[in-house]
Structure 1
Amino acid sequence: MLSISQLPSFSLNKSLRSPCSSSLSLFSSFFPRVSRLVRASSGISNLTLCSSTPERIPRVNNAGLKLDETVDAVKGKIRLDSWISSRVNGVSRARVQSSIRLGLVSVNGQIVDKVSHNVKSGDEVNCTISELQPLKAEPEDIQLDIVYEDEHLLVVNKPAHMVVHPAPGNPTGTLVNGILHHCALPSVAYSNQEDDSDEETLSDDEEMTSSSSLAASVRPGIVHRLDKGTSGLLVVAKDEYSHAQLAEQFKLHTIERVYVSLTTGVPSPSQGRIDVPIGRDSNNRIRMAAIPGSLCRGKARHAASRYKVIETLAGGGSALVEWRLETGRTHQIRAHAKYIGVPLLGDEVYGGTKSMALSLLQKRVSRSDQEQIIELISRMDRPCLHAIVLGFKHPCTGETVKFSCPPPSDLAEIVGLLRRSGREKEKVTQFTAL
């Protein structure tokens, strides 16, 4: 069921760590209402977070760790991998799944190699945690925009068009390839297992953990993902403990994630909450869809997004919109934006086509800018979506940290033009009316 409720006013952030100061002048000129909040940074250096920490979390292999327990009373169905993950600390769910598939887990004395096996009250579960699997990607010398780094994690500003991890059709040039080189990790071949999900937390549920036992090796340290066309902030864990701790935060939805986008048209009302399940589109396997009322039938999963219009552009032809995620489903913002009738500008998969954008904008911009608008729209080869804020509890210190990074130049350029042209059109209209 669609729920778009009026919300109290909320801004991008109150206190952000924003080490991308070199980009703030460009950001400020195109996003003045947002940038003053981004500039309200704590001012703490992005290299000093753990410098005074008296205690370090040791890096533990955990290979050979044993679990022998009886399943207590459980309500409903619970997967074997989920139950084991809830009983062991500091071990990623992907590694638990690897242990299951390698035959290192038994239930009531019988080996079970299916991660989705449902356990019930009274089951006797015996598990031995497997050795860490070798990394399955080649290190590549790829320039990374690292916003923050310490010995436990790093935060990266992913550019648009960069794939997060190797997959069929994208074996090289990914964020993972660059991270392996940056962290000086070993070079081995990667798994060629197909993976459909694109923008979810890797710890959330079975859709993200359904590939082979080597899947986690393809994504060393990757806790969540962004679409290929989406730019912005990602956190990457350097060790298993940090990965497990961050994955738990994503699972509990305590990670703060804020995105900005350009929409075709303006959302109405100007702020609200969209609570509509998201599932695979039955007519297009690579596309997700908001499917009202389908949650109980298992066709989709709970998804909730909050949005707020930051600025109306080009006389209502477009809007700069802030999104805050309560869940992390594949293509969540893109599917929810389409559902409320304002697909993201440049999102050809979800209806934000160039022809639709031009039909909305051409009549609303000044004649002198129409040619440039057409050129910019025709060059737009990705959804106008940027992950601008990322906040979480640091797995080492327990400190709540927040990072921000300005949108890239392609998004800033089109916002600037739409803003200026819309104002010029308004002036001409007012003059004509006189």
Structure 2
Amino acid sequence: MLSISPVPSFSLTSVKYLRSPSSSSFISFFPKLSRFVTASSATPNSKPETTTTRVNNAGLKLDETVSVSKGKIRLDSWISSRVDGVSRARVQSSIRQGLVIVNGQVVDKVSHNVKAGDEVHCTISKLQPLRAEPEDIPLDIVYEDQHVLVVNKPPHMVVHPAPGNPKGTLVNGILHHCSLPCVAAYSNQEEEDEDSDDEETFSDDEGMIRPGIVHRLDKGTSGLLVVAKDEHSHAHLAEQFKLHTIERVYISLTCGVPSPSQGRIDVPIGRDSNNRIRMAAIPGSLSRGRARHAASRYKVVETLAGGGSALVEWRLETGRTHQIRAHAKYMGVPLLGDEVYGGTKSMALSLLQKRVSRSDQEEIIELVSRMDRPCLHAIVLGFEHPCTGEIIKFSCPPPPDLAEIVGLLRRSGREMVE
């Protein structure tokens, strides 16, 4: 169902763990939002004082009778609910390896439905060795304890190794900094959980392990990302992503200004039939199976350069691949610098050059020409700590490339008004 409707006003909420060194730059970037930011009440970059015991769980057995009151439930979901501290991805791997027997028959389909009275015998599978090598790569660690690591990912860094990017990834750098659990990857096959999020779902034909990675950011997107340091934390965080209880706030620069200035976009997202590497917002396609439910809330924080651009805050209700980028394109305001989704340099310049002062036109041309990624930054991340149960939030200011162009557009817009 198509919906772009106004919603009640929302803004960046109080951020509990804001790094002290960056608080001034955050406030200078968001002067209108500074009242929502509080000083840090935790020690960022703290190293764990003791070593966490890592449990392999290989060989763990489950022998139980299904007792659901009515209806059916997926096999992988039921096993996951009965085995604590083991990721659902690992349960799925165990099923596919033939390690699950239902009523005396081996079942290797994760979406198999079980019902009350079914006898289930499961053995948790062994995990493959990690396929990522540690590399001494500088990391911007926002927070660390024995169980989780929160990192500010720079633009242009790939999150995990894959064909074409075997080295130099965030995972390579984290493995040099600390050890990570062997956690099986979710499959993106036909029997995948229909409610799982593409952004938190990994597809890999070779069954590659994604050590500690619960979610990801596009290569060009900067900002906050949480990494699990043990399997229990991974399973707990993965469940939060599945239930959409993770707080994620992004900021972006758009080509043009969204109208209305705030609202909710409820338009399914699926593969673009004309370009398989691109996603597309496809209205009314859920019933035909072409796309999956996707909902985003947005708010224009600031109109820049006389309406040539806008600083927009996004909150995700779902986490589909390229969700913000596809929804922004659908609204007719693609992200500045997003060549894949229409936010081309020529489009940006055609909107900006006529609206900025003559003294700033050359600098605008230079900055836009240098912009080689979508202007998108994951600015706030909040979640329930997998071990303490405490709700914790983190924030980090945008990197220099984004901050520089926002500053120029903001200043030039003021000059034009005057």
* TM-score normalised over the length of structure 1: 0.87
Task: Determine if contact 1:77/1:118 at 8 Å carries over to the other structure.
Answer: yes
Among 201, 210, 215, the residue aligned to 1:208: 201
**Correspondence 1:277 to 2:261:** no
Q: Distance in 1 between matches of 2:392 and 2:113?
A: 37
Change (3 A) 1:387 1:206: closer
Q: Conserved in 1, the CA contact under 8 Å of 2:188 and 2:202?
A: no
Which whole-Å CA distance do the structure 2 matches of 1:108 and 1:318 have between them? 61
Partner of 2:371: 380
- Distance in structure 1 (CA, Å) of the matches to 2:47 and 2:382: 14
Q: Is the 8 A contact 2:80 2:88 kept in 1?
A: yes
Q: Is the Cα–Cα contact under 8 Å of residues 393 and 400 in structure 1 kept in the other structure?
A: yes
The residue number in structure 1 matching 2:11 is: 11
Structure 1: which amino acid aligns with 2:417?
E
Shift of 1:204: 3.9
Name the SS of the counterpart of 2:382 in structure 1: strand
Q: Which residue identity lines up with residue 7 of structure 1 in the other structure?
A: V
1:313-353 per-position Cα deviation (integer Å, ceiling 9, x unaligned): 00001000000111111111111111111111111111111
| CA deviation profile, 1:261-285 (whole Å, cap 9, x unmatched) | 0011111111111111111111111
CA contact (8 A) 2:367 2:405 kept: yes
Whichever residue aligns with residue 65 of structure 1, its letter is L
> Does the aligned pair in 2 maintain the 1:71–1:125 contact within 8 Å?
yes
C-alpha spacing 1:205/1:227, structure 2 compared with 1 (3 Å): closer
- Give matches, 1:292-307, under 5 Å: 292-307=283-298
State how 1:172-191 maps to structure 2 within 5 Å: 172-184=167-179
Report the CA distance shift for 1:353/1:230 in structure 2 as closer, same or farther (over 3 A).
same
Distance (Å, rounded) in 2 between the aligned partners of 1:386 and 1:85? 33
Q: In the alignment, is residue 336 of structure 1 matched against residue 327 of structure 2?
A: yes
Return the offset for 1:226. Answer: 0.4
1:128-139 aligned within 5 A: 128-139=123-134
Q: 1:205 to 1:423 in 2, by over 3 A?
A: closer
**Corresponding letter in the other structure for 1:239:** D
The amino acid of 2:11's aligned partner reads S
State the shift of 1:305 in Å. Answer: 0.8
Match of 1:30 in 2: 29
Report what 1:46 is aligned to.
Answer: 44
Query: What residue in structure 2 maps to residue 171 of structure 1?
Result: 166
Aligned AA for 1:177? N
> What is the distance in 2 between the residues matched to 1:351 and 1:206?
21
- Displacement of 1:209 in angstroms is 5.1
Counterparts of 1:77 and 1:300, CA distance in 2: 25
When the two structures are superposed, what TM-score results if normalisation uses the length of structure 2?
Answer: 0.90
Alignment partner, residue 432 of structure 1: none
Match of 1:269, SS state, is coil
After superposition, give the CA deviation of every residue in 1:242-272 in whole Å (9 maximum; x if it has no partner): 1111111111111100001001111111111
RMSD, aligned CA:
2.9
Matched residue SS, 2:64: strand
For this pair of structures, how many residues does the alignment match? 412
The SS at the match of 2:335 is coil
- For residues 192 and 207 of structure 1, the distance between their equivalents in structure 2, rounded to whole angstroms, comes to 10
Deviation at 1:149, TM superposition (A): 0.3
The answer to whether the aligner puts 1:360 opposite 2:344 as a matched pair is no
> Per the alignment, in what secondary structure is the counterpart of residue 120 of structure 2?
strand
Which SS does the other structure have where 2:18 is aligned? coil
Aligned to 1:364, the other structure's residue is in SS state: coil
1:104 and 2:104 correspond: no
C-alpha separation in 1, matches of 2:373 and 2:70: 43
Deviation at 1:296, TM superposition (A): 2.1
User: For residues 226-375 of structure 1, what are the structure 2 equivalents within 5 Å?
Assistant: 226-375=217-366
Is the 8 Å Cα contact of residues 255 and 308 (structure 2) preserved in structure 1? Answer: yes
**Distance in structure 2 (CA, Å) of the matches to 1:78 and 1:411:** 46
Secondary structure of the 1:377 match is helix
Return closer, same or farther for 1:277/1:78 CA change in 2, 3 Å cut-off: farther
Amino acid at match of 1:265: G
What runs of 5+ residues in structure 1 fail to find an aligned partner?
197-201, 428-434
Residue 90 of structure 1 is matched in structure 2 by 85
**Contact 1:223–1:246 (CA under 8 A) maintained in structure 2:** yes
Instruction: State the Cα distance separating 1:3 from its structure 2 match.
Output: 1.6
Mapped partners of 2:218, 2:410: distance in 1? 27
Residue-by-residue CA offset, 1:196-236 (whole Å, 9 max, x unaligned): 9xxxxx96479925534733x1x211111000000000000
CA distance in 2, matches of 1:76, 1:193: 25
Report what 2:192 is aligned to: none
Partner of 2:382: 391
> CA 1:379–1:47 in 2, change beyond 3 Å: closer, same or farther?
closer
- 1:302/1:75 Cα in 2 relative to 1: closer, same or farther (>3 Å)? farther
**Aligned AA (2:201):** M
Distance 2:11 2:255 in 1: 22
| Structure 2 CA distance for partners of 1:206 and 1:313, relative to 1, 3 Å | closer
Counterparts of 2:353 and 2:78, CA distance in 1: 56
